[in-house]
A and B are shown apart, each in its own frame.
Chain A
Amino acid sequence: MRKEDNDIRRITDGLRSGRRFRNANLDKLLQILERSELHVPQGLMMDAADAPRLREIAPTALSSARKRRRLSVPTSSIVRWALVPACAAAAALIFFFAWPRLFRGEAAGTAIAVSGDVRLLSAGAHRTLREGDDVGRDDVILSGPSSRADISFPGGLVLRVLPGSRVSLLKTYVTGRKRTFDALVTGGGCIMRVSRLEAGESALIHTPTSVASVKGTMFGVRVDADGTVRYEVYEGTVRVRRCLPPDRSVEPEAAMVLERYFEDAAVELKASQACRIGTDRKPLYALTGSNVRNALPDLSIPVIATGTACEMQLPNEAAGFPGMPGAGIAARPAPEPRGSVYLMYVPDLDFVLKIGKRYIALVRSQETRWSLDLDGTIASLPVFESTSLYVSTVSGAAMKIDLYTGKILWTAHMDDSMHPRTSPVLDESGLYCATVRGLLYKFDHDGRLLWRSDIGCRVTATPVCSGSHVFVPAADGRLIGVDGKTGAASVGASFGSGIAALGARADRIFVATEAGSLFCYRHRDGKTLWRYEIAESINGDMLVRHGSIYMFGRGGTIYRISADGLLLWSRDTGRPIVKRPAEDESRLYIPAGGVLLSVDKKTGDIARASLEPAINSGNVAVTKDTIYFESEKSGFTSLRK
């Protein structure tokens, strides 16, 4: 306990003796007072090192302050006094005409069913909520551990407050025929049903960290004590996204980046889908314009639940809710989550490979040549040569598929699972597959195992082939060279931090580390030729083309670095790069939310194409004249270049 807080504790203790605060939780008040601090944006706090420049800064700041004030008070006192009666008359007129309309717009809800102990905080007073009571804007509904309340609002909107919840009603308007509803759930949960909304209408449910916008649906939300949020949709569609805290405690510059990131990471949940938003590893108020981009991986975004997590949990607490299918609603297989489909262009066939979680299809506009369901989940992107496709699954199977027919030619099994980010690697002598625990397998083109080598460390990225060796990145920062003929392993070099991506050109291996360094390693003599610092974590994709290395920072910057380690250009796309880049001869194509970025490889010039609906696939496939992608509503879509 800090000495200076003693008087705060003394005063709080003093309140306990008074009747006024007999029922108040003064321990909580003390907690709030002791565990809070007044927040000031960091931008305001000029570095003290600038103090010697005070004489230069102060006069400028003073003059700008005076200038601003002059602008804010432009009128002379005579004009100001003349304006007073005019403004008063105008205000009276506006009030006279608008008053009845304003009050007609306020739509109070009615509690249609209440069970257990539900309290209503309205106009600063507590009271028990009973059936038939009105509930309106600014009211807070608190339900006990085994209590609940159903509230019906005009316009066919019904809200069920689940046990142990706190729901604040922020907006409950019906202006003319337009409905506007907004509620904040800070603890527990609620289920909402609303008939289809028309243009200009809105129904929102906020939690402290997220917001769900509704188009006409039935859905539920639950906020756990640790801040985790879960949304479940039973009918219709709900759009869920992270949002900034309402107290504007995030720095404006960081807020701008976060808004874009949250917008890009928004998900649309359809019937029988659920999503979860975890807690952030870094608090938002600690983010500034300079560190926000590197902190993005530490922030939670909505993740659509898969497997057993997609089973609906809230309906069990909501039996009897109007229109609810009933307790124990059967979880239908959730549609494939957003971003899980990847595309690859096969030039020899002029078709596009569509790679889902457990299936592969060869498609073109309006045409599906074949489709194949697999037993296991596909690990990362497959590789192909001419008309043969090599796929590995997370469960540890490698297979060869005939691209003409879609038939599996052979399947080989490994003793370990594949890392979801490592693809198989192909050279003229065979196929290499690196497993999670560090086993490297080599198969020939007919599926026969040639050798198996133990790297002795977890593999973090896709290996690369160079000369007669295959180079495997280890989690501890080592680059391990393995002889392609014998499988004998030797340590190439160590790069300090974990390796995020590898690229190769002739006898040079380009190593990008998670710490944001790019190394050029010559395996012929084991020398590190150069090192380039990008001071940003990269998203795990690296392209080596025509003597240049293209790297993609998570924060949204693309780098082109020459084979000699010189920065040729870097471009800030303004959006975090989460999806995989695709390329053709002259350009890179990167989907980012509702925008497709097209980057000139030579100059770095960026062209942006806004796409509605947004790209849903994890990448785009680029042919000579067409760009293929998957979108939420239109499915497989093509776009003329």
Chain B
Amino acid sequence: MVYSYRQTQDFKRFTDEELVESYRDGNEQAFTELYVRYERKLKRLIYYYIPDAEEASDVFHDAIMRVFRHLGSFDTGKSFSSWIYQIAINCSKNYLGKTARDIRMIEEERFRLSRVDGGKESPEEIYISESDMAEFNRSVSLLKEKFRTVFLLRYDQKLKYSDIAKILRCSERTAKWRMEKAIKAIARHLSEKGVI
């Protein structure tokens, strides 16, 4: 099947939930639009749990298949993004549970952070070296899982606390508290290592 650019563009104005309804009405392109909207976001999220591109790709497809299968039962009165993130996180956790031994061995390699500006010095001339970044990576990887998940959803996915709360089935206040704890733990680690 060939999709024209114009046809795909038309879906841009729909909300996620409207796209789900459109898909249920038999419009397969609606799912394609949802896929395009969430592909990169989900892959990034899954990759933080499973730091292997190939395995992360498998889990992503697993998650997408689940979304496919259960799209019929999705309650369009609720947030689609929360639902799809939930599925992605659950798929990742399931995968981690099954391969816990292997994952533990590569714990150190889980997070890879890079500088956005390619290493130029900031106006304040605070020098951030490669080893500082490595230590930061390490501090994120050492966070407890519940803190790390909030940190990732907020820091990388830029989700609102209300959405994070829905995904993690906790209160918004708890999500904020976890984010604060995560940054404190990172600061503590970096301070101990002499980075800050």
Do the two chains bind? yes
Q: Give A contacts to B, CB under 8 Å.
A: 4, 7-8, 11-12, 14-15, 20-21, 23-29, 31-33, 35-41, 43-46, 48, 51-52, 54, 57-59, 61-62, 64-65, 68-69, 72-73, 119, 121, 124-126, 140, 142, 166, 168, 184, 186-187, 208, 225, 227, 245-249, 283, 285
- Cβ B58 vs Cβ A40 within 8 A: no
Whether B26 is near chain A, meaning CB under 8 Å from some CB there, is no
CA distance A69 to B55 in the complex (A): 10
Q: Mark B126-144, 1 if CB is under 8 A from A, else 0.
A: 1111111110110000000
Contact of A187 among B119, B129, B191 (CB under 8 A): B129
- Cβ B193 vs Cβ A121 within 8 A: yes
CA distance A249 to B192 in the complex (A): 25
- Cβ A43 vs Cβ B39 within 8 A: no
Distance between A43 CB and nearest chain B CB, rounded to angstroms? 5
- Cβ A15 vs Cβ B152 within 8 A: no
Whether B190 is near chain A, meaning CB under 8 Å from some CB there, is yes
CA distance A208 to B131 in the complex (A): 8
Whether B20 is near chain A, meaning CB under 8 Å from some CB there, is no
CA distance A61 to B56 in the complex (A): 11
Query: Residues of A contacting B152 with CB < 8 Å?
Result: 38
Q: Mark B110-154, 1 if CB is under 8 A from A, else 0.
A: 011111111101101011111111101100000000000000101
4 closest A-B pairs by beta carbon, nearest first, are A65-B58, A61-B61, A208-B130, A124-B192
Contact of A12 among B36, B183, B191, B192 (CB under 8 A): B183
A-binding segment of B40-48, B73-81, B82-90, B166-174:
B40-48
Query: Residues of B contacting A61 with CB < 8 Å?
Result: 57-58, 60-62
Contact of B64 among A58, A125, A142 (CB under 8 A): A58
- Cβ A37 vs Cβ B114 within 8 A: yes
- Cβ B186 vs Cβ A29 within 8 A: yes
User: Contacts A14-B180, A35-B116, A54-B31; is A4 near B158 (CB within 8 Å)?
Assistant: yes
- Cβ B44 vs Cβ A72 within 8 A: no
Contact of A36 among B57, B65, B114 (CB under 8 A): B114
Whether B21 is near chain A, meaning CB under 8 Å from some CB there, is no
Query: Residues of B contacting A21 with CB < 8 Å?
Result: 187, 191
- Cβ A44 vs Cβ B47 within 8 A: yes
11 contacts between A and B (CB under 8 A): A8-B155, A12-B187, A24-B191, A26-B187, A36-B136, A44-B53, A48-B36, A68-B58, A166-B129, A168-B131, A186-B131
Contact of B65 among A62, A124, A225 (CB under 8 A): A62
Whether B107 is near chain A, meaning CB under 8 Å from some CB there, is no
- Cβ B127 vs Cβ A247 within 8 A: no
For residue A8, which residue of chain B has the nearest CB?
Answer: B183
For residue A245, which residue of chain B has the nearest CB?
Answer: B130
Whether B98 is near chain A, meaning CB under 8 Å from some CB there, is yes
Q: Give B contacts to A, CB under 8 Å.
A: 1, 3, 31-32, 35-36, 39-40, 43-44, 47-48, 53, 55-62, 64-65, 68, 98-99, 102, 109, 111-119, 121-122, 124, 126-134, 136-137, 152, 154-156, 158, 176, 179-180, 183-184, 186-188, 190-196
- Cβ A29 vs Cβ B196 within 8 A: yes
User: Contacts A69-B98, A72-B99; is A62 near B62 (CB within 8 Å)?
Assistant: yes
Distance between B154 CB and nearest chain A CB, rounded to angstroms? 8
Query: Residues of A contacting B180 with CB < 8 Å?
Result: 11, 14
CA distance A628 to B133 in the complex (A): 48
- Cβ A65 vs Cβ B62 within 8 A: yes
Q: Could you list 6 further interchain pairs (A-B, Cβ under 8 angstroms) beyond the known A61-B60, A225-B121?
A: A14-B180, A41-B53, A45-B39, A48-B35, A54-B64, A72-B98
Query: Residues of B contacting A58 with CB < 8 Å?
Result: 61, 64-65, 68
Distance between A395 CB and nearest chain B CB, rounded to angstroms? 39
Distance between B124 CB and nearest chain A CB, rounded to angstroms? 6
CA distance A302 to B34 in the complex (A): 48
User: Contacts A12-B183, A39-B114; is A31 near B130 (CB within 8 Å)?
Assistant: no
User: Contacts A39-B113, A72-B99; is A124 near B126 (CB within 8 Å)?
Assistant: no
For residue A64, which residue of chain B has the nearest CB?
Answer: B58
Query: Residues of B contacting A184 with CB < 8 Å?
Result: 131
For residue A57, which residue of chain B has the nearest CB?
Answer: B61
User: Contacts A58-B61, A62-B61, A62-B62; is A32 near B136 (CB within 8 Å)?
Assistant: yes
Contact of B113 among A37, A43, A46 (CB under 8 A): A37
CA distance A57 to B124 in the complex (A): 48
- Cβ B133 vs Cβ A32 within 8 A: yes
- Cβ A283 vs Cβ B132 within 8 A: no
- Cβ B57 vs Cβ A20 within 8 A: no
Contact of B156 among A12, A15, A37 (CB under 8 A): A37
- Cβ A31 vs Cβ B131 within 8 A: no
- Cβ A51 vs Cβ B111 within 8 A: no
